[in-house]
């Protein structure tokens, strides 16, 4: 019996595994940053740095754009959002999952974990992304920022846990930003961080993460052994 076979007989520690989308499963961080910068340029606003633009990834779009454009009147934030969407949807067909993500999700499904997504994307945006990478039906539930509270408010995770009747102790949140990790703290769940997305991994030290994965392969190995 090889190690992968043996792992299928280990008791599960987590019944529900919740993934962030952008920067965790979906290789979209660089495009999102460029689109935020382009939208700001369109409205002749100060253009945020890559670090500042990447920081807001994971928040709901309104909150994210209000943060990167603090001088913009609140009533004009939707206008900035329209420009962001214009740039994003022109290039979104170029995006793909991080290499190894499909195999990772398949391995978790074979162990009968509930799988979910908690994302700052809109429902329309997530549905389009899932269609693009043929992941419709892989996740047992999803939550987006326009249908519940934006991260790091705990409601996204609370709704997912309630849907399956899973306790916080049996739930794992996986994400690439401090917003994801604070979401887990606020909801009382465990968390794992990935370092290949939007936020610098040094920021993760302030959170009680179970593990920091530096690649999808490392994430899969940890989940095989510990999830």
Q: Which residues are catalytic?
A: 20, 22
What does the alpha-carbon distance between residue 160 and residue 62 come to, in Å, rounded to a whole number? 23
What does the alpha-carbon distance between residue 53 and residue 65 come to, in Å, rounded to a whole number? 9
What does the alpha-carbon distance between residue 98 and residue 106 come to, in Å, rounded to a whole number? 14
Annotate 50-115 with DSSP letters as a single string: HHHHHHTBTB-HHHHHHHH-TTS-GGGHHHHHHHHHHHHHHHGGG--BPTTHHHHHHHHHHTT-EE
What does the alpha-carbon distance between residue 175 and residue 16 come to, in Å, rounded to a whole number? 14
- E strand spans, 79-221: 114-119, 141-144, 171-175, 190-194, 212-213
């Amino acid at each position: 019996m090889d190690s992968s076979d043996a792992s299928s007989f280990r008791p599960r520690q987590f019944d529900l595994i919740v993934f962030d989308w952008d920067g965790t499963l979906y290789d979209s961080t660089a495009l999102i940053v460029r689109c935020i910068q382009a939208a700001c340029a369109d409205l002749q606003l100060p253009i945020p740095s890559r670090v500042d633009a990447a920081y807001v990834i994971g928040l709901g779009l309104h909150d994210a754009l209000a943060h990167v454009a603090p001088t913009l009147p609140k009533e004009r934030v939707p206008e900035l959002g329209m420009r962001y969407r214009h740039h994003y949807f022109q290039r979104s067909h170029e995006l793909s999952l991080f290499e190894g993500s499909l195999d990772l999700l398949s391995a978790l499904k074979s162990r009968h974990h509930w799988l979910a997504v908690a994302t700052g994307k809109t429902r329309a945006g997530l549905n389009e992304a899932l269609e693009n990478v043929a992941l419709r039906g892989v996740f047992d539930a999803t939550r987006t920022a326009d249908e519940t509270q934006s991260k790091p408010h705990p409601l996204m995770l609370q709704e997912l846990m309630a849907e399956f009747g899973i306790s916080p102790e049996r739930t794992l949140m996986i994400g690439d930003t401090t917003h994801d990790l604070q979401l887990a703290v606020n909801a009382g769940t465990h968390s794992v961080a990935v370092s290949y997305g939007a936020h610098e991994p040094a920021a993760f030290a302030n959170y009680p993460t179970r593990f920091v994965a530096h690649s999808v392969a490392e994430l899969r190995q940890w989940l095989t052994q510990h999830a």
